[in-house]
Chain A
Amino acid sequence: MQRARRYVLVIGGGKVGYFLARHLLERDYEVTVVEKDPTRAANIEHDLGPASVMRGDGDEMAFLATTGIERADVVVGATGDDEDNLVACQLAKRKFNVPRTIARVNNPNNVKLFRALGIDAPVSATELLMGLIESELSGSELVRGIAVKASGANLVDVALPELSSLVGKRVDQINLPDGEMLVCIVRGGRPVIPLPDLVVDRGDELIIYSQTLDVESVRESVSH
């Protein structure tokens, strides 16, 4: 049976909303961008076609009702204002029974709050960006955490410090705290499966699965 095209409603046609819509259209999603600024809306219409944009306020209930929101599979709050993304997603969920809501979170401190307030997937670009930039900074002990969906689990990438006691140990000799697991070793830029008899070398990066969001404690557990 052929699957129906998924309908994604994107609230906010700034850079994030625009590129997201373009990307999804290329992947054969049905997409409508809601944008209140007339110039931005006109630009999107010019680039992506008239069917892909509606001009109006994504938090105005009367307007939202005209966007076909009730048949949307996903609503994405993609504006630069957290409060607008929150309310758009809450209205989508609670008033229009949209099954899945994704909110762009600009202030990383709001991720938890959004989840508590019923947003299925709060996505903090700021947090991701900070992690990526941090990992690109020179220095050996930098850690990056990648949240595994909304599960509260993390993949943490630890570049072993020169003096780490783990260097020279076999994988099966490494004792990680409960809730943490070594899932991959990056050696010379290539992933290596951490079989029990593999010996950890200087310069290795460890990818560790952690059930907590406490990236620092993961670093602590392998850095000494």
Chain B
Amino acid sequence: MGCGRVGAELAKRLLSDGHHVTVVDLNQASFDRLGSDFAGEMVHGNALDEEVLRRAGIESADALCTVTPGDNRNLMIAQMAKDIFMVARVITRIYDPIREQVYHELGLETYCSTTIGAGIIYDFFTTGTNRAHSEPTGTKATA
């Protein structure tokens, strides 16, 4: 859900790993980020709308990730996916660290890109290591 920089990058990686990937975005132009050779599915619509989620195949999805620019939008989509459509794995990106903490405690799988980003820069300043580029490229995510 959300075809910004993160959503597009993630979709391309998962697709090249052989997964069936559908990307949903409010704005048709966002799909340009996927490149013209993208072989996944693109659904243009509001992911807060159950009909759009159905159209995107949520009923048969194994996992869903929400990376729209709105924390609340992500939280609402995630709860719809989990509680209505019973998607097995739902991952939610949240910018606000405190809100992330609250929903994490409530059982959502969340991550806060603010905290993670700040942590990387902090490490760079305090230890001189650049965690953003310390791993060999091409490492496969196992999540």
Contact = CB atoms under 8 A, between A and B. Distances in A.
14 contacts: A59-B71, A60-B99, A61-B96, A61-B98, A83-B48, A83-B75, A86-B76, A87-B72, A87-B99, A91-B99, A91-B102, A107-B49, A113-B79, A116-B83
A116 B81 CA distance: 13
Interface string B75-119: 110011001100000000000101100100010000000000000
Interface residues of A, number: 20
B71 to A, nearest CB: 7
A87 B98 contact: no
Interface residues of B, number: 18
Contacts of A84: 72
A70 to B, nearest CB: 14
Nearest to A81: B72
- SS class, residues of chain A in contact with chain B: helix
What is the predominant secondary structure among interface residues of chain B facing chain A?
A: helix
B76 A82 contact: yes
Residue in B50, B76, B80, B96 with the greatest tally of chain A CB atoms within 10 Å: B76
Contact of B102 (A83, A94, A116, A117): A94
Contacts of A83: 48, 70, 72-73, 75-76
A15 interface: no
Pairs A-B, 3 closest by C-beta atoms = A61-B98, A83-B72, A83-B76
A185 B106 CA distance: 48
Contact of B96 (A60, A107, A116): A60
